[in-house]
Structure 1
Amino acid sequence: MIRYIVTFFLLFIISLYGANDFELLKRADGYAKSPTKANQFRAYNDYKNIYLRALMNEDQKLKTCALEGIVKCGTKLHIDVSQYSDELEKIQKKSSTVKKQKKSKRKKSSDIRVSSSHKLKSIRWRDGRLVLSFDKKLRNNQINYFKLYDPKKKVYKYVFDVHASMLTKSQTLKKQNIDKIKLAQFNPTTLRLVIQDSAQVKISFKKEDKKLIVKMTPKAGKKYAQTTRVQKVVSPKRLDRNKRIVIDAGHGGKDPGAIGYKGYREKVVVLQISRELQSILKARGYTVFMTRDNDKFIRLRNRTKYANRKKADLFISIHANAVSKKHANKAYGIECYFLDKSRSSRAKKVAAQENSADMSEMDFYGKQSFLSTLNSHNIVASNKLAIDLQRGALGALRKEYKNVKDAGVRPAPFWVLVGAQMPSVLVEVGFITNPKEAKRLVNRQYQKQMALGLANGIERYFLNN
């Protein structure tokens, strides 16, 4: 065992020194300028490697460049980079020159302008197409398109998120045979267009300089055939029905997980949510496996072994968070974690809590050395999956419930995810110790809505990857 650990650690050190610092920084800067999400992830990982080198070589200048890159790319990818951001801020404060202070301010204001530099000038119909005109040329990475389906309400939604702002108030538009079209400011930096209908709609769009042109074609005779369609169709046809997904309900058996408000047990809540998610995914045509479908104990390392044996495309572990009674009323929210070494004390605490059931002989330092050898491709894919699951859960729950908190997407050393040969994510569905959130977590309707959001996030991941 010690020999394997040493080998893993040596491989990690070799990988860090396999390329020249300047060449690696130049490559990261090149990826960072790319508009594609995949290259942004490559840049993010390169900057993290540069940061580790800088620490080992005590190179303050290189360290600052790496931190700037990590914060910039991480912010674009919605990754929690607060620890790196804090460290960068401390370095900048230590600088006594006015030039560096002005440069820091210009950087911050530049970031703000990038996110809200485009403004919507007009909306109009042209040859049956909806034309949105902006004051500046649109970039490809400013437009995010995805589809949602609510099987309960039997409603299809086609959503465009554009990184821009409106000059006018939200608007409801009309088009024959389309139930609802709404354009509104979703948040200060995102303009959202939602096309909603009780039947499937063929959507196509293109970007022309400063214009986004959307074509929507309703199914012929939709109003006449609607009743028959609703009776026959349970969910829309999916592009990735052949995918295999393993759902892991955390804890179980002799391991109850966290004991929360009024004695609610984590192992019971997460199994109920996992079963709801299994039901929705199966209804949509996916092949779904459960690491446990009853109250039994499974060692952490055997959970991903099961997923590998089933040749799964995704591994999703469902858990509920917890804090001490002193902080129970303040701590709440949904979090998604992907496997990686973390510098965040918060992420380490959550991981330690979930790792406590692992009784393997490998100690902390052995695990840290093993984590250093993780496949970077799986880390990037898992990060993307975590973002989509987080967005899906929040989107579904906020339609029905108030004060649903986004606690973020974070890297953490969760031992239950180690060994997975596919993208893997641990979802903390909420704090079972928070009185309000705990009541929701044991409510079957809330569990179904949570599962629906996670299912939508899975589909968004497959659609984009």
Structure 2
Amino acid sequence: MKGLLDGDKKLQVEALLGLIAASKKLGLDPTRYNNALRTLRPDLAEGGTKAKPKPQTKVQKSRSVEKNGGKRRKLLSGKVENGHLRLKFSAPIPTDGVRHFVLKRKGYYLYVFDIAPVRLPYAIKRIKGEGFKEVRIAQYDPRKIRVVVETKKRYKPRHTFDGNEIRIPLPGAAADESRKSKAAKRSLPASGPAAKPASKPSAKTKAPAAEAGPALPGSMLRRYTVVIDPGHGGKDAGAVGYMRKKEKDAVLAVAKELKKVLRKRGFNVYLTRERDVFIPLKRRTRLANRKQADFFISIHANAAPKKSHWLKSKGIETYFLSRARTKRAKRVAAIENSAEIKNIDRYTKEAYLSVLNREKIIESNKLAIDLQRQMLTAVRSRYKDVVDNGVREGPFWVLVGAQMPAVLIEIGYITNPTEAKRLFSTRYRKLLAEGIANGIESYIYHNK
């Protein structure tokens, strides 16, 4: 990756030769690395052939299943009913498949349930309700889901198994069960003359309504550094849309507003560009790495592929770095990458994207989810019609090389007349900046 970012062909060749050798030893297909090597050093490239793995014996298959904790179940539904969180799975969960522990964080208690082997049909689910702050269900690692019940007060949740379901009592239900248990004990005949009279039960108190997460103190946020990257600049105008408005101008204005908001909250903040100048892609993440940033936020504005789509193409979306899986992601990435990577061939791109740091991809995905949700909440407080285009993955080269969670935000379509006007509106920019700042704080609150 370093060789690609620095334009060091010798280092690229050495890396590709190493990847080819490692692939052969592991019985993997080295074709993509051979193709990339062929564009740099045809004399060193070989014809890659896919090595066929030896078929596993029944014993090996059995050991493999055991090693992975058995067949993974799928979570079919997760909902709150009658004071319980009911989790329904495609098959029963083994009793030793649930690990429970408690964490205390900033005046809140987190009751954590790790359940395996399970996979989710979504990235994260959040449920709010009476008596608790929030329930979160997310894929913690490839084979384990994590359920977190966040409350203001301590309680004793005792999960139960019922066929394909696991039921976790929430604060109100747990208190009721505890009272019933005590009442049942009191109703039993005294076992001796020294038996104590039952104490008078306390009056019922109304459960507090769900509330927003607490704001993080500035003293804590001063530990975090954010590098904001206004896309394009200088000779690279980016997308040019409605009324000839330019992407480079819109994103710089939003980036400056975001810088003000973050600094006011206590963050250390740097911009990759403060004015209308062109900055090569590799220098943008290099600045973030040099500043030892905790977050890299690249801000862009989207554009419809053709004029007939200007009115219907709209909305906000957030990307994290990965190999594109959809035509839409490939199209957007091609637009944002076009200024600088024309000379990098398809094979080289594929080869280097295949060895991305998976841990950073997962962290960037989580950050993207928090940013998308908080941006929408902020802008919809004033502009109800803003479209949620979701969190997506794509091969954005401005994010390559970042050694921290890194995302690219498309803050709206500059080709859409309504959104183009909003992108140059002070009110809209402030709401966007507040939303992005809230998203960063949300990520810190839930993951740090």
Aligned to 1:405: 387
Aligned to 2:171: 212
CA distance in structure 2 between the partners assigned to 1:15 and 1:204 by the alignment: 54
- Report matched runs for 1:248-397 at 5 Å: 248-323=229-304, 324-359=306-341, 361-397=343-379
Shift of 1:438: 1.5
Contact in 2 for aligned 1:245/1:288 (Cα 8 Å)? yes
CA shift in 2, pair 1:8/1:267, >3 Å: farther
CA shift in 2, pair 1:362/1:239, >3 Å: same
- Supply the AA of the counterpart residue of 2:241: G
- Supply the AA of the counterpart residue of 1:208: P
- Report matched runs for 1:32-431 at 5 Å: 111=76, 114-116=77-79, 118-119=80-81, 121=82, 133-134=83-84, 190-192=127-129, 203-204=152-153, 206=155, 208-209=157-158, 210-212=169-171, 236-237=217-218, 239-323=220-304, 324-359=306-341, 361-431=343-413
> In the alignment, which of 1, 13, 27 is matched to residue 3 of structure 1?
13
CA distance in structure 1 between the partners assigned to 2:286 and 2:365 by the alignment: 21
The CA deviation string for residues 174-223 of structure 1, in whole angstroms up to 9 with x for no partner, is xxxxxxxxxxxxxx994456999xxxxx9446563422359879xxxxxx
Shift of 1:13: 3.7
Higher helix share: 1
Structure with the greater alpha carbon radius of gyration: 2
SS in 2 for 1:245: strand
CA distance in structure 1 between the partners assigned to 2:84 and 2:254 by the alignment: 43
Shift of 1:408: 1.0
CA shift in 2, pair 1:211/1:300, >3 Å: same
Matched positions, count: 313
Contact in 1 for aligned 2:301/2:412 (Cα 8 Å)? yes
- Supply the AA of the counterpart residue of 2:399: L
- Supply the AA of the counterpart residue of 1:6: L
Shift of 1:364: 2.4
Shift of 1:237: 4.0
The CA deviation string for residues 81-138 of structure 1, in whole angstroms up to 9 with x for no partner, is xxxxxxxxxxxxxxxxxxxxxxxxxxxxx83xx144x32x3xxxxxxxxxxx348589
Q: Once superposed, what is the RMSD of the aligned Cα atoms?
A: 3.8
CA distance in structure 1 between the partners assigned to 2:440 and 2:333 by the alignment: 23
SS in 2 for 1:298: coil
SS in 2 for 1:374: coil
Q: Does 1:459 align with 2:441?
A: yes
CA distance in structure 2 between the partners assigned to 1:282 and 1:247 by the alignment: 12
Shift of 1:405: 1.2
SS in 2 for 1:342: coil
CA shift in 2, pair 1:244/1:359, >3 Å: same
Contact in 1 for aligned 2:311/2:417 (Cα 8 Å)? yes
Percent of matched pairs sharing the same residue: 43
Normalising by structure 1, we get a TM-score of: 0.59
The CA deviation string for residues 416-452 of structure 1, in whole angstroms up to 9 with x for no partner, is 0011111100001111111122121111111100110
Normalising by structure 2, we get a TM-score of: 0.61
SS in 2 for 1:251: coil
CA distance in structure 2 between the partners assigned to 1:15 and 1:393 by the alignment: 46
Q: Which runs of 5+ in 1 are unaligned?
A: 34-71, 73-109, 122-132, 148-157, 161-187, 197-201, 218-233
Contact in 1 for aligned 2:226/2:268 (Cα 8 Å)? yes
SS in 2 for 1:297: coil
CA shift in 2, pair 1:245/1:396, >3 Å: same
Q: Does 1:446 align with 2:446?
A: no
CA shift in 2, pair 1:404/1:212, >3 Å: farther
